């Protein structure tokens, strides 16, 4: 019998089960599979406490993850969490998994006294726009975001 999904903060011991899901996420966005590089990358995030990862954990495999990076608002003197990576495995989509995982992220942001959670979505990903807006996110009309590529 399949147990219900568990939503929790990941720990370094989760790496063996998290790496394949993270690699699938990268592949979804056009990157080549590279489990060894993914493992090194995630290990460093845990080792140096550079990010916080939440997982949706099934009995057999990970169903999804959300990775947050800390940033800060100098004007409000508060932490801001950047939701940099968010992925739900295909069999778990359209079942409330993403909504529940995002709820865990929002609860964490609240508990840590953050100003809020910031994220970016591709201009063409209208499904993601609707999903985040349904979860209470509002598009920032005040600032135009820029990126300098090396």
Which two three-digit tokens encode residue 88? 């739900």
Cite the active site residues.
132
β-bridge partners, 8:
55
Q: CA 25 to CA 130: how far, in whole Å?
A: 20
Nearest alpha-carbon partner for 62 in 20, 26, 4 = 20
Residues 68, 47: Cα–Cα separation, whole Å: 15
Cα separations (Å) of 88 from 58, 91, 111, 142, 148?
12, 8, 24, 30, 29
């Amino acid at each position: 019998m399949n147990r219900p999904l568990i939503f929790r903060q990941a720990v370094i011991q989760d790496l063996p089960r998290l790496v394949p899901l993270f690699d699938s996420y990268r592949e979804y966005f056009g990157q080549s599979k590279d489990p060894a590089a993914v493992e090194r990358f995630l290990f460093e995030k845990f080792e140096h406490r550079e990010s916080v990862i939440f997982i949706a954990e099934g009995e057999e495999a990970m169903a999804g993850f959300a990775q947050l990076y800390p940033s800060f608002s100098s004007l409000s003197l508060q932490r801001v969490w950047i939701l940099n990576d968010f992925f739900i495995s295909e069999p778990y989509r359209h079942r409330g998994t993403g909504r529940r995982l995002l709820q865990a992220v929002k609860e964490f942001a609240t508990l840590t006294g953050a100003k809020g959670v910031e994220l970016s979505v591709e201009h063409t990903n209208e499904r993601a726009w609707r999903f985040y807006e349904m979860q209470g996110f509002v598009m920032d009309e005040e600032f135009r975001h820029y990126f300098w590529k090396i």
